[in-house]
Amino acid sequence: MNAYKKEKSNTAYVVAGSLPWNREVFEKRISKYPGRWHFISMPSQLNRKKIEKINPQYIFFLHWSWIIPSDIYENFNCVVFHMTDLPFGRGGTPLQNLLARGIYTTKISAIRVVGALDAGPVYLKASFSLKEGSAGVLYKKASEIAARMIREIVRTHPEPHPQKGTPVIFRRRTPSESRIPEGLTPRRLYDFIRMLDAEGYPPAFIECAGYRIEFFRAARRNKEVQAHVIIKESSGQRMR
């Protein structure tokens, strides 16, 4: 083994992910890359003293549900993956915000973490289609693309460049916004249901006659939308 390969095999990296598909892509793909790879899934593990013991060259955030502490991103190379062509779409719930706007082509941006949300310089971008598939399926595909981007970053060490253009900010959607609005076309209804169809997200729903009807697994058939439903009692209503 030459000195270069030995150095690469001894280099440490951390991958942070809070959802099941993050762990899946780590175990199946990322952990097989050269180097010593560590996975963390809870904020208590993102502790400066613990990270210093690992001494990673990069910390990659596939999908992280908590604020990254400043003593982490100021002392380590932290890279986050965001599902928009930054600076367009800075902010929360990018997948849902894109589909709600009828946007079906985007990019996954790998950026360095800084103090301002999604404002860091860009390492890489990769094209990503949102035309079909539930949110759960799209998140898994996005994780696979991020895994390939991680490999490229650790192999080539690209220099991040400042974002170009006027920022467009996305507001994080709330659970109450999962209520299906009136007047949607079949295509937009399909998009609305599928954009919320993932573990950990409040599903699309309507309320009728005291019941809450939740929709999953949407599919388009000509001008119709087919979906699986779950009917639950609403507050004050008991199912018999």
The pLDDT value recorded for residue 236 is 43
Cα separation, 42 vs 174, whole angstroms: 23
- The two structure tokens encoding residue 81: 């993956």
Burial of 193 (0-12, 13-18, 19+ CB in 10 A): buried
And the tokens for 142?
């996005």
pLDDT at position 118: 95
Give phi and psi for 182, each to the nearest 5. -80, 155
Token readout for 18 is 């809070």
Per-10-residue mean pLDDT, the chain, length 240: 51 95 95 96 94 97 91 97 97 96 97 96 98 96 97 96 97 94 95 95 93 96 93 61
pLDDT at 8: 59
CATH pick for 175-233 out of 3.40.640.10, 3.40.50.720, 3.40.605.10, 3.10.25.20: 3.10.25.20
Sorted by where each begins, the domain ranges of the chain are 3-170, 175-233
- If one counts every other C-beta atom within 10 angstroms of the C-beta of residue 182, the result is 6
- The arrangement of strands across the sheet holding 224-233 comes to 204-208, 211-221, 224-233
Peptide bond just before 87 cis, omega within 30 deg: yes
CA distance 229 to 40: 34
Q: What is the pTM of this model?
A: 0.90
Q: Which of 65, 193, 73 is CA-nearest to residue 133? A: 193
Residue 48 and residue 14 in contact, taking contact as beta carbons nearer than 8 Å = no
Supply the pLDDT for residue 137: 97
Architecture of domain 3-170: 3-Layer(aba) Sandwich (3.40)
CA distances from 56 to 48, 60, 234 (A): 11, 10, 49
Quote the DSSP letter at residue 206: E
3 state DSSP class of 180: coil
Distances (CA, A) of 115 to 68, 71, 78, 121, 203: 9, 11, 12, 12, 32
**For position 65, what pLDDT does the model report?**
83
What values do phi and psi take at 129, rounded to 5? -95, 135
